[in-house]
Structures are given as C-alpha cells and as structure tokens.
Structure 1
Amino acid sequence: MHTAPTVSFRRIALLVAGLSMFGPFAIDAVFPAFPRIGNQFAVDKLALQQVISVYLLAYALMSLVHGALSDALGRKRVIVGGLLVFIAASIGCALARDMPTLLFFRALQGMSAGVGYIIGRAVIRDLYAGDEAQRLMSQVSMIFSIAPAIAPIIGGWLLGWGNWPLIFWFLVGFSTLLLAVTLLWLPETHPPQARLELKPLALAADYLAIARNRRFLRLAGAGALGFGGLFLYIASAPAVIIDLLGLGERDFAWLFVPTIAGMSLGAWFSGRSAGRISGERAIASGFAVLGLSVLWNVGYNLFTDTPQVPWAMLGLSLHAFGTALIFPVLTLRILDMYPRQRGSASSMQAFSVLVTNTVVAGVLSPLLSRHGLHLALGAAAFIAAGGLLWWLELRAMARSGKLAADQGQ
C-alpha cells in the first residue's frame, strides 16, 4: 500500500475535509442572497432555484470524470486543476451582470467543485484500510459537516457588509487558500505504477459495469436516498427559514446549526464505533435514528400549523445524526469493491448522490417546500426507500453467507 509518512493522520484529515468543503460551501453560502439576486435580475423563485440546480447538474455530470482522471493522472494533479477552474468560475460569478451569465459560471463552478469531495475519499483509501480508514473518514465527515452550517451564516454576514457578489469573492479567497495548502501538504497517493491508462471506451465500459452491479446499486442507493431526505430541507432552506418560519436572511443558522450538530455527533460516534461494532450494526443504528426523525417531523407538522424554532429543527438533527452513522461505512464498502478503480467507484457513488440532489433541488423542493408537512413526508419517503435497499443488501449477504462471517469478526 502506498503511504505518505511525512503527512500526519490529523493533517490529512484537515486537508481532505477542507477539500470536501468548498463544493457544498458554494451551494449553501448563496441561499441568503436569493432575494437580492432575484431583485437585481428581476427573476422569480423558480428561476432562482436554478442557481442551485445548474450547479448540481454540472457537479453530477463531471463527477463521472474526476475519479477516472485521478486514477490515470494522479490524485494531486487533478485536485489542483479543479481548484484553478473553481477560482476562475467564482470570479466570473462575482462579476456577472445578468442571470444567464451567473448560471453559466455556476455551471463552471459545479464542473470543478467535485474534485475535493470525490478524490479526497480515494486519497483516504489509498493511505489507510479497515478501521483506520473508517476513523479517518469519520473525522473528515465531522470537519466537512461544518460547511453546511457556517456557509449560510457567513453568506448572511457578508450581505450585511456588501451586496451578493461579495459571497463569490469570499469563495475565491477560500479556494485560493485551499490551493496553497494542497500544494504544500498533499502527497501524491496514487503512484505512476498503480495508474490506469485513460481510454474513454474502456472507462465507459467500467462505469457501465459498476452501474450494473446490483450490490453497488444497493449500497450507493441506500446512502444517496438517506442523504436525499436531508438535502430536501437544505435545498429548501430559503423557503423554510423565510416563508415557513418567518425569519430573516441572517437567520439560516436555525436550520444549519442543528443539522451540523447532528452530523458532527454522528460522525464522532461512527469513528468511535470503528472496530467495536460491525458495519451492519452501525448502519442499522443509523436507520433506526432516521426512523425517529420521521416520527418527530411528521408528528410535529401534523399537530401545528405554525412551526417554531427550535422544535421544527429537532427532526433535522436526528436525520443528520443517522446519515452520518451510515455514510462512512457504505462509502468504504463501495471503495473496497474496486481496489484498482477507487477513483471511478468514488465518482459513481458521488454521481448517485448528486443526481438525487439535483432532482431534489430542481423538482421536489419547489413542489414540497410550501408546507412543513409536505417536506416531512418527502423526507420520510427517501428514508423508507434507502432502508429498503439496505434490507435487500442484508438479504443478499445472508444468502451468500457473508453476513454471518462479518458479524463473527
């Protein structure tokens, strides 16, 4: 196994978490600016939602390329290239003077934003295995989960000092800092002798083989759908905070802080449980917590017409906690299925999450965000579908005898 002895475990955790943060940060930091962008460009809420949807669609499509490029060219080179493109795209967003220009550069942001998230997970698995990899993945999740909480808060603060382009100038500064730290800290974890030749037809065949693998579909689907219910609230943040709760553009912390608290705590428990309980038990615990979040969200919205903080947000904390328990274990199992194609496997898993999120942001959020109960039922449907896929995976493992072997370890 290729290792980087000059880089500490903690430094790798901080670096990979930072690289994973800038993509989601570019989604959530913009939410508080929606009213101002709409007023300046004279567009409605549906058009504003495309600021997110266009970004996510480009992110999803390019996620299929980033991992394969890193398998062929090396991890560090692709990450550095992606950061350079993201910086240029953020400058374009800040200078945009009409909606089509803003959407063009948002798409360019999305095309480059996935390099840190997708390739960072492959870096972890390049360096570590087993329980150690799960602990590092959980530490990264804890740090990474700060982004959705602080991004809208920072966005709101920046709006207090200037207009919405200031948010994109902040992204320029943040990604430039990441570029400098990457050049200084990140070792190349995928040496030339381990790289695959970049052949488009062979790459397409590999992706098709992964996409047709039933086990991959069960594992990736369970994670994507479990997170999809949480992302429904994240994508609907302007409607939840401003319309349903009647709060202001600087009050997005009411949604994101409880979410991040749940995710950080869940990631901490996931790291502590590595090597102590089986992956199956960790995932079962995660789905049990997700079930509790459904009971609270649906029950609360059935018995109130005017949701109030903090009670309206308690279910989100539970949902985030359960998701953070599940995701590291599912991710490592997917990467372990393809030891020579970890970049491609990471890309395909990310693609499944991003396609789900794109549908959520572009279709489901506008339909469901007018009422708290509709959002709660939508999240419940996602959790139920994810739980069904995990149940099917358990049945497949039991038939193959792998479940008993894993639980006996």
Structure 2
Amino acid sequence: MLISLMASAQVAPSRLRIIVVLGALIALGPLTIDMYLPALPSIADELGVGSSVVQLTLTGTLAGLALGQLVVGPLSDSLGRRRPLMAGIVLHMVASVICLFAPNIGVLGIARGLQGMGAAAAAVVAVAVVGDLYTDSAAAKVMSRLMLVLGVAPVLAPSLGAVVLLQASWHWIFGALVVMAGGLLLTAALALPETLPAEHRRPLRVRSIATTYRRLLRDLRFMTLVLVGALSMAGLFAYIAGAAFVLQGHYGLDQQMFAVVFGAGAIALIGATQFNVVLLNRFSPQRIVTGALMVAVVAALVFTVLTVARVGGVYGFLIPAWTVLAAMGFVLPNAPALALSRHHEAAGTAAALLGAAQFGLGAVVAPLVGVLGNDERALAVVMLASAAVALVLLMAVRPSHSAEVELDLAAEAA
C-alpha cells in the first residue's frame, strides 16, 4: 500500500520543507567529490604521484559511495531512515579529519573511501524518502527539484575549494567538509521526520535482505532504468574526473577560472533539471528520458569528432560537453523516479541499488579517463559510450505505445 496514504501532518511534511532538507542531504556527496577538484594537481605534486594515481582518490570516494549505499539501503528499510543517516554523517566527519592530516596518497585514498561511505547514507536516505512520500510524475518533479540543489553543489564546491586554496593548503578543504557535515547533522536531527513507520519496516535478516535484492535484480525494467541512470551519471563523472586536467593543463585555465567554467557546466545541468518539471506537465518521464539520450548521443558524437580532429579549441570542448551535461539533466531525475515507482515496498533497498550502480560505475569511469590519456579525446569517447549504451538499453525495454499513452495521460493528470 502506497505510503502516500499517510496524509497526516505528523508523517507527511510539506513538499517545500522536504525538498529543502533532502536537498541539503543530497548535496553532501557532490561537495565531498568536487570541493577538492581544483587541488588535484597540487595534491599530485605535493605527494609525488602522477595525475592518474591521484585520480584514484576520486575512485575511492565513488567506490565508498557505492558500497555504503548497498549497506545503508537495507538498514534504512529495517531501522527507519534517521538512525542510519546520523551514523553515516558522523563517519563522514571522522573520515574528513583523517583526510585533513593524511601524510601520503595511501592514507588519503582510504579516508576518501570512508568519506564516500558516510556520504552514501545521506544520498540513499534522501532518495528513499522521496520513494516513501511520492510516486510517478510527482516523484520525478521532487527529484527535479533535488537536482537543483544537487546542481548548485558542483557550482559552489570547486569555488569553495579554490577559496580555501588561496588561504591555506589543500588539507584544509577537508577541514571545511568537517564543518559542513556537522551543520548537516544538526539540520537532519532537527528537521527531518521519520518517513518509514514501524509497521512498514522490513526484518533485518540476511535472508530477507538477499531476497529483496534478488527480486529487484530480476526485474528487467527496473534494472534497465538503474543502468540508464548509472550510465548517465558515468558521463557526468567522466567530465568531473577529466575536466580539471584538460582545462587547467591543456587550455591553461587557473584554479579560479576553472571553478567558473566548471560551474557553468553545472548551470547547464541545473537548468535542464528545472525545465524538466515543465516538460513533465506534458510528457511522461519515459519519453523525456528517451529524447534526452538521443540529444546526448548526437552532442557526444560531435564532441568526439571535434576532439579527434583537434579543432574548435576550448569552445569546441566546452559547448558539446555542456550540451551532454544538459541532456543528462533530463535523465537523472526521471530514470530513478521511474525505477522507484516500481518498488515502493522496498524504497531504501531500491534507492541503494540506484546509488550503488551510479557511483560504482563512476568509480570505474574516473580512472578510465586517465588510462585513456586524461585528455579531451578520452573524455569525449567515454561520454559518447555512456550515452549510446544507455539509449540502446532504454530502447530495448521501452513500454508499448499504448503504455506510453497511459503514462502521458497520467503526467497530464498530475
């Protein structure tokens, strides 16, 4: 029975309030990932490692985010949303302190992995709460609003990191993260209600958890939507992993200008997520995702041709890359919303699979950009492959025409 039946004021907070609180939660991951991006070249120089090695600290963070969500998801379905969330934020703070004093790349990489695991709690709980309270187009609209906050974080994070670097060494970026996570812990404790009543919780048993995961993995359409979301996020992580080295190393941008340019790409992503709310009044999430992936494939193909031909300069890099990011802004809220709508009874575990797939694939993509050359061609190829495979998968399991008509009518009714 859908949790939307819980209409009482004690359980269902206002949509604006929940968006603000969940937006703060979901921003922790991007802040953790992006704040230190301007410092990557400095970290590599100070610790005496190559660019591909220092990128492994980003891989560690993404791997931690993926693994952490697989653990936190079932816990949140059994213990409620709040307790796993609080524990995860505390872990994030402890890991940030270790990063602050990391003496070498090994310690930094391990601590970054623990940071990712802590941030995973915030990510999975935020998405699970959306699954608790909303469904279908309503869920997609809330996810779009969360993408606004999620998009602001990458805009601000490199700039915040650059400000810290003007005053102190890269270590103190992690000091700033300790303070931010502490504020988030206080906000969640005071403002986030428990959205999963005791009677709707699942038993915390290994067999029960395994059965839930097995049922989700056997749902072909659910898993396809999970992979579409993950591949779209992979294109975003490819840009995150390679942009600092391409824009600063190849095109000569300084740390502050890189932060501005990186933020402009995030604005393209943000604008798309907010226009997505308008499109949802007319089209189903399925149709929006399909159209956006088509645009992404074309833009990424142009991007690849320009970089292989070495024409267009920095504009030949930025314009197609930003177009792909904008297209992803339509995919990222809709694919998870469609997936979650299939499994309200296990929203935490479903959200865990969504997040784990996104960050797990991101953990693979981040070093792949470095292995392929850490240049604009490597970035373009990875973004093209991600978008093309996502489109093929989506088209392979797309609903029938009559089902799409029903989805469109539902969107108009919402």
Judge same fold: TM > 0.5, yes or no.
yes
The aligned runs of 1:382-397 (5 Å cut-off) are: 382-394=386-398, 397=399
Match of 1:337 among 335, 342, 345: 342
Partner deviation per Cα, 1:56-115 (whole Å, 9 max, x = no partner): 112211211111111001111111111111111111111222222222221211111111
Aligned amino acid, residue 235 of structure 2: G
Map of 1:79 onto structure 2: 85
Contact 1:266–1:322 (8 Å) recurs in 2 = yes
Contact 1:2–1:189 (8 Å) recurs in 2 = no
Aligned amino acid, residue 86 of structure 1: H
Map of 2:360 onto structure 1: 355
Structure 1-normalised TM-score?
A: 0.93
Aligned amino acid, residue 345 of structure 2: R
Within the alignment, does 1:257 sit opposite 2:259 as a pair? Answer: no
Contact 2:25–2:184 (8 Å) recurs in 1 = yes
Aligned amino acid, residue 117 of structure 1: A
**Residues in 2 aligned to 1:101 and 1:251: alpha-carbon distance in whole angstroms:** 30
Contact 1:67–1:118 (8 Å) recurs in 2 = yes
The aligned runs of 1:120-269 (5 Å cut-off) are: 120-269=126-275
Kindly report the root-mean-square deviation, in angstroms, between the aligned alpha carbons of the 2 structures.
Answer: 2.0
Aligned amino acid, residue 355 of structure 2: A
Partner deviation per Cα, 1:34-77 (whole Å, 9 max, x = no partner): 23322332222232111111121122112111111110011111
Partner secondary structure for residue 345 of structure 2: coil
**Residues in 2 aligned to 1:86 and 1:344: alpha-carbon distance in whole angstroms:** 21
**Residues in 2 aligned to 1:302 and 1:98: alpha-carbon distance in whole angstroms:** 36
Map of 2:372 onto structure 1: 368
Contact 1:124–1:136 (8 Å) recurs in 2 = yes
**Residues in 1 aligned to 2:72 and 2:394: alpha-carbon distance in whole angstroms:** 27
Match of 2:96 among 90, 95, 100: 90
Partner deviation per Cα, 1:110-150 (whole Å, 9 max, x = no partner): 11111111110111221223433222111111111111222
**Residues in 1 aligned to 2:301 and 2:112: alpha-carbon distance in whole angstroms:** 37
Contact 2:35–2:161 (8 Å) recurs in 1 = yes
For residue 209 of structure 1, report the CA deviation from its aligned partner.
2.6
Match of 1:317 among 318, 322, 334: 322
Contact 2:152–2:266 (8 Å) recurs in 1 = yes
Contact 1:261–1:317 (8 Å) recurs in 2 = no
For residue 206 of structure 1, report the CA deviation from its aligned partner.
1.8
Map of 1:36 onto structure 2: 42
**Residues in 1 aligned to 2:52 and 2:308: alpha-carbon distance in whole angstroms:** 27
For residue 254 of structure 1, report the CA deviation from its aligned partner.
4.6
Map of 2:404 onto structure 1: 403
Q: Which stretches of structure 1, 4 residues or more, deviate above 6 A after TM superposition?
A: none
Contact 1:368–1:374 (8 Å) recurs in 2 = yes
Map of 1:381 onto structure 2: 385
Map of 2:74 onto structure 1: 68
- Count residues with an aligned counterpart: 404
**Residues in 2 aligned to 1:299 and 1:99: alpha-carbon distance in whole angstroms:** 36
For residue 406 of structure 1, report the CA deviation from its aligned partner.
2.7
Within the alignment, does 1:101 sit opposite 2:107 as a pair? Answer: yes
The alignment-based identity, stated in percent, is 27
**Residues in 2 aligned to 1:106 and 1:227: alpha-carbon distance in whole angstroms:** 19
For residue 245 of structure 1, report the CA deviation from its aligned partner.
1.5
**Residues in 2 aligned to 1:4 and 1:248: alpha-carbon distance in whole angstroms:** 53
Query: Structure 1: 5+ residue runs without aligned partners?
Result: none
Aligned amino acid, residue 400 of structure 2: A
Query: Structure 2: 5+ residue runs without aligned partners?
Result: none
**Residues in 2 aligned to 1:405 and 1:34: alpha-carbon distance in whole angstroms:** 49
Contact 1:137–1:328 (8 Å) recurs in 2 = yes
**Residues in 1 aligned to 2:193 and 2:226: alpha-carbon distance in whole angstroms:** 28
